[in-house]
Structure 1
Amino acid sequence: MTSRSRNQVPDPDVTSALGDPGPGVPMTAPELGEHMAHLVWENFGEALSDPTIIRLLSLAGVRFDDGLPPERAADEFLILHLWAHTRAVQLGLGDRMDPLEVRHILDAFHDAIFQDLGRLGSSPGEIAIFEQRIANRYREYHGAAEGSDLALGAAAAAHLREQGGGDEMRPPPPARDLVARFLARHTREMAQPLADFLTDLHLAGPMPPPRGRPARP
């Protein structure tokens, strides 16, 4: 997406930042979606300012310029964060909520992210393309996660690596394994606060009517 690069941390005042209301406090589906969006932006920003993570992403083949990754790599890293939080909801609520309720929560979450991107300057067309890219990655990451954590990390690392960079951008096998394990661990760790929060979640208010859009993976 070109109108506003996401290789920089968004200003919290611009995004759908909803603070943690505390355990057991009822939330509507839109409120939970905004809370999840806040967690994603917070985790994303912290990761891109963490020297250890920057070194490991560099090892994966991501070229940083003045401390910032290329926009395409930043997009892929953001998608990984989105998938991790989506997966946390699916695993944390799938056994105790109706699938339609889970879908409404995830719709609210992604809508909050897309609204944030619109406020940051992305056009509706760019957001639509990005949404399709998200759906493609979700299908791939879901399948990889069913295999193993390492397979998930390897899939994410492959998308982070600079496209068209040639063999010089492809890490040697020991480095690839290290990066894959790191990304798998990072995915688990960044979603853990949400998983803990969902343990005491109480949804308030009626669910919105279905909008006729396909459920996100």
Structure 2
Amino acid sequence: MKDTFKHRGMRNHLAQILIDKGIADKKVLDAVREIPRHLFMDSSFEGHAYQNKAFPIAANQTISHPYTVAFQTELLQLEEGHKVLEIGTGSGYQTAILLNLKVKVYSIERQLELFKKTNIFFKKMGYRPKKLIFGDGYKGLPEQAPFDRIIVTAGAPEVPKALLSQLKVGGRLVIPIGFEEQIMTLFVRTANMEFSKTEYGSFRFVPLLENKN
């Protein structure tokens, strides 16, 4: 597959859909306009790539709705140079959006099939996260902590304590919490032992599995 002027036009249309749904961060919208989402999907789904839909990828996982990706990214309030931990690399689309915003991304994927596939794809496309790890997202990445931002792209029954502990004071953690349906939740570390918590709307994610590896 190639990235054409037609695809760019479709991305502009998708960005407008996200604006209409309330996404306001210009940098996030520009990233959506820039990143070729269709290349992160099976070619048979190319015609659906710029609709606000989730679609299946390898290992019984999905590529999230563009709105979900934009919403989580906007909640992070990213600044250039931020050190970001992503739990759930998946197709790599969310990772690419983060990289477009000029942050340092450390990404963990628990599905070996996806990890291998996305690793090859990133090298082919020239996407360069600081580190792509095959491992258990529940444990985070303590050797690289603390992080300015942490984003979780799978539904967890509760927030893993390891992730809270790896957040800088002033840092933000965005995670969907729940079982069949999740509540998008933002934790901000306000002091060494204190966190604020804000809940947003309902979303649906694949589950974050503990001790997978």
Largest Rg, 1 or 2:
1
TM, length-normalised to structure 2: 0.36
Q: Which one scores higher on RCO, CA 8 angstroms, separation ≥ 6?
A: 1
Task: Judging by fraction of residues, say which structure has more helix.
Answer: 1
User: Per residue, is there more strand in 1 or in 2?
Assistant: 2
